């Protein structure tokens, strides 16, 4: 299952869909909606998020297991450094390994200071590089402390993330390079909103791969896409989310449309997003679609 996903990533068309477990003890309604819309037939795999924005959600590893069992498609489970020390990280990886949750997206995580849980404290023993190193150790049959396991874990496939925009592109290249050196097979970008930015990111990835080490340590770039159907969303992403660049042309088009009404605003935003998706798919068909569980939008974009 995972070999096929990596083969698609390296040699073919690759599309994954993000799911965000809710503030609920039940993940099944989200899975049921995906099945109802037939989204499992339109993508090569899924991802599950891990308490984004430090808000309490259903566990990403359990969610990945449910998704994977229902659709028999690989799921990339996110693990954050914010909530676990190196003992907990390794323990979770060992448990996930036996139940075949073996694609892991390593994140440093949003700060605990913005959590919805009073006085929550972040762990942050290190950044996501430590988790990538732990995965490398597991793939060699040893723990992070260098102690051999009684049984070698099944191979784990590590993923990482990178911003889609920086005033100094060299900083993006260095971040990509660091993640590649630490073993990432795929690097998912923050949402991209124009073709030129996508081209630049691919150039930086190629440089990072060449400067990194050897062919055994190289990564594929996966372009993140987050459809925008509201002016306020475009304005928020542009003003408050580092690493994302929403073109002024998008904001202006949505502003004019919003003055005509909600339906026109949605129509213009969807058309901009759909056109971008189609262009990126033709240019670089390795995409990760994020819709904050608005799965009808996902279906309309994908079909």
Q: What's the pTM value of the predicted model, to 2 decimals?
A: 0.96
State how far the Cα of 36 lies from the Cα of 171, in Å rounded to an integer: 42
DSSP string across 171-201: HHHHHHHHHHHTT-SEEEEEE--SHHHHHHH
For residue 186, give the nearest of 162, 161, 216, 219 by alpha carbon: 219
**pLDDT range class, residue 211, cuts 50, 70, 90:** confident
> pLDDT tens across 36-94, in order?
999 999 999 999 999 999 999 999 999 999 999 999 999 999 999 999 999 999 999 99
Query: Is the residue at 147 inside a domain?
Result: yes
State how far the Cα of 178 lies from the Cα of 109, in Å rounded to an integer: 17
**pLDDT range class, residue 182, cuts 50, 70, 90:** very high
Query: Is the residue at 28 inside a domain?
Result: yes
Tell me the longest C-alpha to C-alpha distance in the chain: 66
DSSP helix/strand/coil, 214: coil
Query: Is the residue at 53 inside a domain?
Result: yes
Predicted local distance difference test score (pLDDT) of residue 212: 76
Q: What are the residues facing 103 on neighbouring strands?
A: 76, 157
Query: Is the residue at 192 inside a domain?
Result: yes
Query: Is the residue at 184 inside a domain?
Result: yes
Query: Is the residue at 274 inside a domain?
Result: no
Domain that holds residue 114: 2-228+288-302
Q: Output the domain CATH number for residue 170.
A: 3.20.20.220
Spatial neighbors of 298 by CB under 8 A, at least 6 apart, are 17, 37, 39, 289, 291
Mean pLDDT of 91-115: 97
For residue 87, give the nearest of 125, 142, 136, 139 by alpha carbon: 125
Query: Is the residue at 258 inside a domain?
Result: no
> pLDDT tens across 133-170, in order?
999 999 999 999 999 999 999 999 999 999 999 989 99
Predicted local distance difference test score (pLDDT) of residue 184: 96
Number of domains in the chain: 1
Percent helix, strand, coil in the chain (nearest 5)?
Answer: 50, 15, 35
Residue 43 near residue 290 (C-beta atoms within 8 A):
no
Query: Is the residue at 262 inside a domain?
Result: no
DSSP string across 261-285: -HHHHHHHHHHHHHHHHHHHHHH--
């Amino acid at each position: 299952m995972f070999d096929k996903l990596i083969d698609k990533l390296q040699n073919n068309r690759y599309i994954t869909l993000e799911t965000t477990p809710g503030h609920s003890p039940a993940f099944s309604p989200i899975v049921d909606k995906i099945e109802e819309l037939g989204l499992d037939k339109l993508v090569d795999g899924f991802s599950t998020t891990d308490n984004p924005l430090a808000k309490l959600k259903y566990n990403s590893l359990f969610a990945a297991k449910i998704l994977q069992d229902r659709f028999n498609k690989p799921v990339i489970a996110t693990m954050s450094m914010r909530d676990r020390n190196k003992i907990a990280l390794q323990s979770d990886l060992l448990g996930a390994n036996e139940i075949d949750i073996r694609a892991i997206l390593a994140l440093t995580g949003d700060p605990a200071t913005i959590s919805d849980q009073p006085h929550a404290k972040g762990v942050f023993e290190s950044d996501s590089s430590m988790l990538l190193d732990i995965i490398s150790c597991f793939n060699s049959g040893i723990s992070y402390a260098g102690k051999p396991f009684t049984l070698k874990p099944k191979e784990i496939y590590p993923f990482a993330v990178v911003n889609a925009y920086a005033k100094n592109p060299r900083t993006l290249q260095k971040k990509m390079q660091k993640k590649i050196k630490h073993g990432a097979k795929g690097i998912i970008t923050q949402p991209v909103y124009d073709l030129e930015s996508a081209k630049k990111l691919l150039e930086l990835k190629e440089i990072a791969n060449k400067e990194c080490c050897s062919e055994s340590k190289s990564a594929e770039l996966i372009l993140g896409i987050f459809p925008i159907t509201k002016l306020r969303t475009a304005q928020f992403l542009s003003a408050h989310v580092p690493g994302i660049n929403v073109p002024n042309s998008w904001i202006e088009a949505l502003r004019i449309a919003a003055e005509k009404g909600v339906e026109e605003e949605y129509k213009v935003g969807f058309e901009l997003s759909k056109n971008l998706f189609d262009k990126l798919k033709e240019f670089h068909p390795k995409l990760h679609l994020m819709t904050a569980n608005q799965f009808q939008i996902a279906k309309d974009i994908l079909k």
